[in-house]
Amino acid sequence: MISKISENLDKWNSRQFITTLNDDNISQNKKSDNLKKFPKEISSIVGDSKIQTSKTESSLLFENSVIFKISSKFDSKIVVEFVKPSRIKIRVDPANIIEIAKFLNHELGFDHAESVTGTDYPKDNQIEVIYHLGSYLRDDLAHLVLSLTTRTDRDEARLPSLLPVYGSVEYHEREIFEMLGVYFDGHPRNERFLLPEDWADIPPLRKEFHIKGR
């Protein structure tokens, strides 16, 4: 395990530009055309890396080396939202997500999806879906959780399903379908899962759905 880490570190040290990867500017430089529709304010809500204070930037070497591997392949297709100890968040376009997920699974060794979360952002009129990916087989990646994020339009929420890549997202995507109304193309069962059979309301985790009396 240690040898693998040091190997990665060596690789990382040979690169110059990753030292600037923590700046938010680098992601803007890399933005491609299809990512431009994401508004800039998102980074004010999500993606603030100031919070982590316990570890210095130099201890994020390993995380950055992982990001380098991804960005060297999908240079303009990913946006790095933040890098924190053991946590990476990258944002991709829905069109590229299966391709990138396949790369993450088969090449990098993120072999399972821990959880899939949907978050509603009515301000941006978007719904964010986050795949928290982890690795069981590779010891050096075991502590790392990579958040693969994509966003879709709120009014016509449709995303490609990651079920062909990660078998473990089956029930999670079903849950997001009923809780946030995101239709997953390629998922065999976009149906009710946890909610009552007679549920006849909007998807409950959308922000315009309010708990009674609140």
Partner 1 sequence: MENFDYKINDTQKLGLEIIKEASFDDRLMTLSVGPQHPGSGHFRFVIKIDGDYIVFCDPDPGYVHRGEEKMAEYRTYIQNIPHLERPVIHDSTNITYSYSLAVEELLGIAVPRRGQFIRAIASEFNRQIYTLYWLAIYGIFLGHSTMFMWPAGDRELFIDLMEALTGARVTHAFNIPGGVRNDIPNGFKERCLRQVSYFEKRLNEYEDIFYNNPLFRQRTEKVGILTKEDAIKLGVTGSVLRASGIPYDIRKVEPYDVYDEIDFKVQYLKTCDSFARSYVPFLDMKESCYIIKQLLDKMPESGDVRTKLQSNVKGQSGESYKRVESGRGALGYYVVSDGSPKPYRVKISVGSFRNILALPHLLVGSKLGDMPAIYWSLNYWPVEADR
Binding site for partner 1 (CB under 8 A): 44-54, 82, 86-87, 89, 111-115, 117, 119-120, 130, 132, 136-137, 139, 142-143, 145, 147, 166-172, 175, 193-196, 204-205, 209, 211, 214
Q: Are 18 and 68 in contact (CB under 8 A)?
A: yes
User: At closest approach, how far in Å is the CB of 193 from partner 1?
Assistant: 6
The Cα–Cα gap between 162 and 99 comes to 10
User: At closest approach, how far in Å is the CB of 93 from partner 1?
Assistant: 20
Tell me which residue has tokens 């449709």: 158
Q: Which is nearer to partner 1, 95 or 194 (CB)?
A: 194
DSSP E strands, 54-195: 78-84, 87-92, 112-121, 126-134, 145-153, 158-160, 183-185
Q: 136 φ, ψ to 5°?
A: -95, -35
User: At closest approach, how far in Å is the CB of 206 from partner 1?
Assistant: 10
Q: Which is nearer to partner 1, 32 or 115 (CB)?
A: 115
Q: Which is nearer to partner 1, 12 or 110 (CB)?
A: 110
Q: Which is nearer to partner 1, 54 or 72 (CB)?
A: 54
The Cα–Cα gap between 62 and 18 comes to 11
User: At closest approach, how far in Å is the CB of 81 from partner 1?
Assistant: 9
User: At closest approach, how far in Å is the CB of 78 from partner 1?
Assistant: 18
Please give the DSSP secondary-structure letter assigned to residue 185: E
Please give the DSSP secondary-structure letter assigned to residue 86: T
Q: Are 117 and 95 in contact (CB under 8 A)?
A: no
Q: Which is nearer to partner 1, 38 or 76 (CB)?
A: 38
